[in-house]
Structure 1
Amino acid sequence: MPSFVDRPAQRYAGFRDTVTAEGLREVAHRISAIVGALAARGVTPAGAPFFRYLVIAPGMTSLTVEACVPVEEPVDLGDEYFTGVVPGGKYAMSTHHGAPDGLYAATAAVLEWGEREGVHWDRAETTDGEHWAGRLEVYRTDPRIEPDATNWETDLYFRLAG
C-alpha cells in the first residue's frame, strides 16, 4: 500500500521528448548523458536520477517524458538539455522492487489503489491526454553497483491535488 509523503520542490537537469512506450528506453539513455555533462562541468548530482511523466496520451499512444538528474543550482548543459523544477507538495509514494519491466504493473496498482481510496491526483485530463504536475519514477539503484535488475528499487511518486 502506498504511503503519503511531503516532497520539497526539486530542481533538475533534464531532457524532454514525446515517444511511444517503446521509445522510453531511448529517453532513459539520456540520464547517463546528463550525468556526463554535469561531471564535465564539475557538478555532482544532488540525488537519484528519475523519469518525469508530463503527458500521457489516450491509450498510451504517446508519452511526453523527461529524463532527469537532480541538481542544486540551475546549470546550462546546452543543446537539448534544460533545468526544471518538480513542484513540492504531498505525494503518494510506493516502492517497486525488481526489474523495470514491472514498473507498468506497479504504477497501475498505485493508480487503482488511488481510485478505490478516492485520492485526487494533481492532473488535468484534456483531449490530448493526462497532464501530470508530479508523476515520477526515481531510480534509487545504481546499475553500475547492482547489475542484477531483480534487485533494483524504484520509488513511484504521484502528486496529490490541492
Structure 2
Amino acid sequence: MSIKPDIVQRAEQPYIGVRGTVTMDTFAKIADRIPELIGSLIQQGSQIAGAPFFRYTQIDMDHELEVEAGIPITAAVDIQGDQFTDVLPAGRYVSYTHIGHPDQLADITGQLVNWAAEQGLTLDNTGQRWGCRLEILKTNPTVEPDMTKWETELAIRLAD
C-alpha cells in the first residue's frame, strides 16, 4: 500500500486528558479512559471541540509507550483525579487519514514517517520523544462497531 499524506497547518488546541505508560498489550489501560473524559465534560456542560485522540509522547515499541488520551475543548474545565489540561501545539503537520482496523496503524505510521523522510521533512522528535504525534479517532465505535471501517487521522508535527 502506498500512502499519500498531506501537509496541514493546525491551530493550537486546548484539551483535557489523562496519561499513562503502557505497552501494546496494555494499551486499553489508557484507551478505555476516553469515555470517562467525555462523561466528565458532558457532566460539566462543557463543549467538546473535536474528535478524541491519542498523543504519543515517547515510543519504545519493544518496551513502553507514554501516551495521553485527550478530548479537544473550547474553554477551561474542571479536572478530576489524574486528569489534566494542556494544549496541542500549532504548526505544520504531516497528516494521513487511514480507514481500516486499528491494528494496521503501526504499519501506516511507519509509512508516514518514511514518506516524510523521503520528502526531506524533519519531524518534531528527538529519538523516542515526540513533540506532537497524534492518532485522531474520527469514528464513534458506538455508531460503527466494524473496526475495519474506522477512520483514524495520523498527524505528526514537523520540526519547523
What's the TM-score, normalizing by structure 2? 0.94
Map of 2:75 onto structure 1: 73
Map of 1:161 onto structure 2: 159
* TM-aligned CA deviation for residue 60 of structure 1: 3.6
1:120 aligns with 2:118: no
Q: Which one has the bigger helix percentage?
A: 1
Map of 1:22 onto structure 2: 25
> Can you give the 5+ residue segments of structure 2 that lack an aligned partner in the other structure?
none
| d(CA) in 1 for partners of 2:112, 2:88 | 20
3-state SS in 1 of match to 2:96: strand
| d(CA) in 2 for partners of 1:94, 1:60 | 25
Question: How is 1:1-162 mapped onto 2 (pairs within 5 angstroms)?
Answer: 1-57=4-60, 59-125=61-127, 130-162=128-160
Divergent runs of 4+, >3 A: none
| d(CA) in 1 for partners of 2:69, 2:87 | 13
* TM-aligned CA deviation for residue 44 of structure 1: 2.9
Task: Give the number of equivalent residue pairs.
Answer: 157
Instruction: Supply the RMSD in Å over aligned alpha carbons.
Output: 1.1
| d(CA) in 2 for partners of 1:118, 1:60 | 27
State whether residues 47 and 75 of structure 2, in contact with CA within 8 Å, keep that contact through their aligned partners in structure 1: no
State whether residues 22 and 29 of structure 2, in contact with CA within 8 Å, keep that contact through their aligned partners in structure 1: no
* TM-aligned CA deviation for residue 97 of structure 1: 0.5
Flag the 1:74–1:60 CA change in 2: closer, same or farther, 3 A. farther
Identity %: 41
* TM-aligned CA deviation for residue 74 of structure 1: 2.3
3-state SS in 1 of match to 2:27: helix
3-state SS in 2 of match to 1:112: helix
| d(CA) in 2 for partners of 1:44, 1:60 | 38
